Amino acid sequence: MAVIAVIYKPKIATNANKDEQRDQNNNIISAKRLFVANQDVQSFIVKQNNLMLHVQQEKSNYTVSNFQLKQKTYRRIVNLLPLENIMMLVGCSKDGQLIAWDISNVFQDQYLYSVQLSQDSCIELIQFNVTNPSDIIAVFSKTIFLIDVISLNIKYQCNILFLKLRDLSQNTLGIPSSFEICLFTADQQFTLMGQNFIPYQKIKGIPLQTVQDIQFINKDPNDPQYFLIGKNNKTISTYPFSLYTVKRNSQQIILISEYTYASQFIQPTKYYDSYNNIIYDLKVLSNKGSMSTLTSNSYDPTRNRILLEQQQNIFGKTGIKFNVGLNKKILFGFLSHSGIW
């Protein structure tokens, strides 16, 4: 059974030392807590400073005193978010609910509410505003909400076809946001906005009916290129999937390649050629039956040219392995995940 887990270290204590917590016998304990959820939430008080977890371990190398919350939600919780400043734990479910608990008392967590925000599955919960710590972003598969979890006031709501979040915490562009929201909506518009939910760029007329993925260079928040792959507007076509690129502070839409199938858009990378031009390495995996095709494009945005396009067929278990990214690999043409959680 899949579980969601989050570790949380409270700073508010019941005595003068805010780095300490005490148990029922007034013994000082380490203030780490572990919340584990699936159809219900279970809370653990962790008494060991260095917590090591692995799902395949049969024996625990830490001691806990635990309890189960009395109120059962009977919903499959897919995300948990501890809100330290207001002492709440917020979760969201696969069927579109937002659930909250009061965690101000370490030994007596209290269920607060469960509300239906959407009919779609929850993707992510984000706390971003230290000025208003009760404001969170709740991202569902077709809708994004900005909501106050205390008053349940919905401050922003937008229907989406696809959404991707980008870390901007290290950006030097003068964008006053720690992250960026990349939206593609039903009117074929690509929108960039920060944590204040005010759009600072809109690109209209991207000829895609649906978007499967939006990619960018994760390790470089200053990189201006965005790549969108999805089903195009062509009613009858040998190549119904298209890969487009757009650029920050530009309205230009550039077609890079088209595909018969597009199963996985691999995280792009970039490098410099001998003339010091940036080249983007773009790979798309297409699965059909027992055969997969890996299409690679080398894109030069300075000259607006595709320098190279290569295709490699992968038949069954050929032993070919492609590294995709952290904790992910394409193995024999199929995507597998290798991670602790």
Q: Is residue 44 part of a domain?
A: no
Phi, psi of 3 (to 5 degrees): -130, 155
Q: Is residue 248 part of a domain?
A: yes
Identify any residues that bridge with 243 across adjacent strands, giving them in sequence order: 229, 257
How many secondary structure helices (H) and strands (E) does the chain include? Answer: 0, 29
Q: Is residue 264 part of a domain?
A: yes
Could you tell me what percent of the chain has a pLDDT over 90? 42
Q: Tell me 63's DSSP state.
A: -
Phi, psi of 176 (to 5 degrees): -80, 60
Look at residues 177, 176, 144 and name the one whose alpha carbon lies nearest to residue 162.
Answer: 144
Overall average pLDDT of the 81-92 stretch:
89
Q: Are strands 41-46 and 64-68 parallel, antiparallel or unpaired?
A: antiparallel
Q: How confident is the model at residue 72 (pLDDT cuts 50, 70, 90)?
A: low
Asked if residues 264 and 291 have their Cβ atoms less than 8 Å apart, the reply is: no
Q: Is residue 50 part of a domain?
A: no
* The pLDDT of residue 227: 98
Estimate to the nearest angstrom the gap between the alpha carbon of 113 and the chain centroid.
25
Token pair 């946001």 is found at: 177
Q: Is residue 318 part of a domain?
A: yes
* The pLDDT of residue 292: 85
Task: Determine the structural domain holding residue 240 and report its residue range.
Answer: 177-184+194-341
Domain tally for the chain? 1
Alpha carbon distance 102, 71 (integer Å)? 12
Structure tokens at 325: 């990214």
Q: Is residue 137 part of a domain?
A: no
Q: Greater confidence, 110 or 341?
A: 110
Alpha carbon distance 38, 20 (integer Å)? 29
Read off the pLDDT of residues 318-338 as tens digits, 9 standing for 90 and up. 333 333 333 222 222 222 222
Q: Is residue 100 part of a domain?
A: no
Report the SS3 class of residue 84: helix
Q: How confident is the model at residue 203 (pLDDT cuts 50, 70, 90)?
A: very high
DSSP 232-250: ES-SS-S--EEEEEEETT-
- The half-sphere exposure of 145 on its side-chain side, counting CA atoms within 13 A, is 23
Q: Is residue 332 part of a domain?
A: yes
Read off the pLDDT of residues 212-264 as tens digits, 9 standing for 90 and up. 999 999 999 999 999 999 999 888 888 999 999 999 999 999 999 999 889 99
State the chain's mean pLDDT as an integer.
76
Report the SS3 class of residue 86: helix
Phi, psi of 84 (to 5 degrees): -65, -45
Q: Tell me 61's DSSP state.
A: S
Asked if residues 70 and 120 have their Cβ atoms less than 8 Å apart, the reply is: no
Could you tell me what percent of the chain has a pLDDT over 70? 69
Alpha carbon distance 319, 121 (integer Å)? 36
